[in-house]
Structure 1
């Protein structure tokens, strides 16, 4: 295995174990996939239903189903465009914002516990390297080469 295969294997494993520890543990809790969507919505501020379809690679009907479920749970609110009623925008409700904040706090505390024996210097180095990798991937993606 060459160095790049080892890197990809390590990144994949880190991603998989990170996802596994952040999955909801209680029955009835919002699923991991829905939580990812709520975090994305928090970062963007608002999102159109069509963007859900594109981002998650699902049909517009499935995207509407996701929105329906989150709206039924009181986690998002829908707004129709005043200029084009076909355009529906989603935003986090106050309950949704609180859930995202609580989950973020839970994840930070979890990683503080797991990585407690790493020095600040080591953590900063990891952050720097991961950001550098992400920037390179993003740059490559934006060139249209993918």
Structure 2
């Protein structure tokens, strides 16, 4: 096994165990998948319905159903784009923002507990390396998009 295969296995494992430790905390009507979507909206500020279908690999009808559920729970609001009325944009409501920020605090506390024996230097170095990997992947994706 070469070093890049080991890296991919390590990244996948870290992602899977991270999800497995957070998933049980996402209970009630807002399951883990819906929380991921709320976090996406939180980080982007807004999201189009077609981005939901692309990210989750579902039809536009299923993406609309997901958005309907979050809107009915009072966590997002949807508006049609002024430039193109066919585009529907979702943003977090105050209730949705409160939920995401509470989950974010919960996740931070969880990782503070799990990683309590890591030094600050180890954590900082890990953050730097993960950010560097992410930037390289994003650069690659941009190049691929420009070639298409």
How high is the TM-score relative to the length of structure 2? Answer: 0.91
- Structure 2 matches for 1:1-146, cutoff 5 A? 1-25=1-25, 27-144=27-144
Deviates more, 1:47-56 or 1:96-105: 47-56
Which ranges of 4 or more aligned residues in structure 1 deviate by more than 4 Å? none
Q: CA RMSD in A?
A: 1.8
- What are the ranges of 5 or more consecutive residues in structure 1 without an aligned counterpart? none
Q: CA deviation at 1:19?
A: 0.5
What secondary structure does 1:89 align onto? strand
- What are the ranges of 5 or more consecutive residues in structure 2 without an aligned counterpart? none
1:57-96 residue CA offsets vs partner (Å, 9 max, x unmatched): 2111011000011011111011123454322211101110
How high is the TM-score relative to the length of structure 1? Answer: 0.92
Structure (1/2) with the larger helix percentage: 2
